[in-house]
Amino acid sequence: MSRVYVAGVGATRIDEHWDKSLRDLMVEASLKAINDAGLSRRDIEAIFVGNMSSGYLQGQEHLGSLLATWLGIPGVAASKVEAACASGGAAVHNAFLAVKSGVYDCVLVVGVEKLTDAVTSDATSALIMAEDQEYIAFTGFSFVALNALVYKAYMKKYRARQEEIASFAVHDHKYAVNNPLAQYPRLISLEEVMRSPVVADPVRLLESAPLGDGSAALVLCSENKLKELRDRDVLVELAGSSISTEIFSVHDRTDLTTIGASVKASRKAYAMAGVEPKDVDVVEVHDAFTVLGVIHLEDLGFAEKGAGWRLLSEGQLEKDGDVPTNTMGGLKAQGHPVGATGVYQIYDVVAQLRGEAGKNQVDGAEVGLAQNVGGVGGTVTVHILRRVR
């Protein structure tokens, strides 16, 4: 089987793109990634598009063929991948398998979502599709409310204070300030977070990732294709890629404070890449809500259960800490364009491994991890990237 390399990356700013369509966003990101790789559109053999809600919100499905046509390369294999908020990560996993298997030498993977054109009620309806419509959604439960249950369970079980968990949002915003792609590049204080309105008790508004529009893209290639790539000082390998599922609905699980899919996917990705948590230099976790960032760090093996929040208070998540995390702003401040988020996370890790993260650069970063979560952990993807030169 071939090793898999990230040949090129591209992304749009996450924002309210009133003047750009879903198609415009994914074409823009795709062309940036192809150009970054130093390749031509004709080098692309297959396309995988990660997206959650285009059918419901834009009335547009069949995104793979749509993108192939607008890139001017009809005839290539192309398909859409959906796994709720983990759609981007799942698309990357499928693209990884396509190259790893030797079937293709050069593939394009794109994450895209357009949410701000929708009224709030429609966006809320789209997001709750990550849960069971027949047994959960019809009751009026929202996606935020489900995460509020997790938040309460975590604080009760581990006697953690909300202020200690809410600090995750402050951390993210500090790093978003230096990220040109970030939706909200401004500092916030813990006091602001704790004064912000309660969305679903105990979740506060400034603990919640915003809705946004955006697209990010990667070009993945095989060893055979390397000789055609633009010569780079740094080459990044996608060394491990795994996906796992958890019991679908939160109420059916025995423990709301851990996500089994995250544990399983991460251990398999670590083994595939031949690394352990202590070897990881930079981490991107799916912090759609602050409490999830804390739980994910524990499930990924960076802290004992119930102690993830201590990494925040001890400064271990800073760029010069032991576990540099969400160094470009995370979902909370960079933004959360749902089906595109998993691809943005890998874009951010690649920037760190290439030494292109500017003021947020982690010195000597060689191994990075990106974790993307669908629903309340119903699907989790974990990717391990390594700088190989």
At 76, which CATH number?
A: 3.40.47.10
What residues contact 73, with CB distance under 8 A and at least 6 apart?
41, 42, 44
Active-site choice (17, 85, 173, 286)? 85
Q: For this structure, is 336 an active site residue?
A: yes
> Cβ(207)–Cβ(144) under 8 Å?
no
Residue 42, domain extent: 5-119+211-228
Sheet with 77-81: list strands edge to edge.
Answer: 77-81, 46-50, 106-113, 214-221, 5-11, 236-245, 379-387, 367-374, 282-284
**14 occurs within a structural domain:** yes
**124 occurs within a structural domain:** no
Closest CA to 262 of 305, 232, 230: 305
The single residue listed with the structure tokens 């509020």 is 148
Q: For this structure, is 221 an active site residue?
A: no
Tokens of 168: 């995750």
Which alpha helices (DSSP H) does the chain contain, by range? 22-37, 54-57, 63-70, 87-100, 120-127, 143-158, 162-176, 190-195, 260-273, 290-299, 308-313, 341-354
**pLDDT mean for each 10 residues of the chain (389 residues):** 95 97 98 96 97 97 98 98 98 98 97 93 89 82 92 97 98 98 98 98 97 97 86 90 95 94 98 98 98 98 97 97 98 98 98 98 98 97 95
**95 occurs within a structural domain:** yes
Position 332 scores a pLDDT of: 98
Strand partners, 172: none
Active-site choice (93, 296, 336, 383)? 336
**315 occurs within a structural domain:** no
**254 occurs within a structural domain:** no
Three-state SS across 309-354?
HHHHHCCCCCCCCCCCECCCCHHHHHCECHHHHHHHHHHHHHHHHH
**98 occurs within a structural domain:** yes
The single residue listed with the structure tokens 């409490």 is 291
Position 136 scores a pLDDT of: 80
Count of the separate structural domains present in the chain: 1
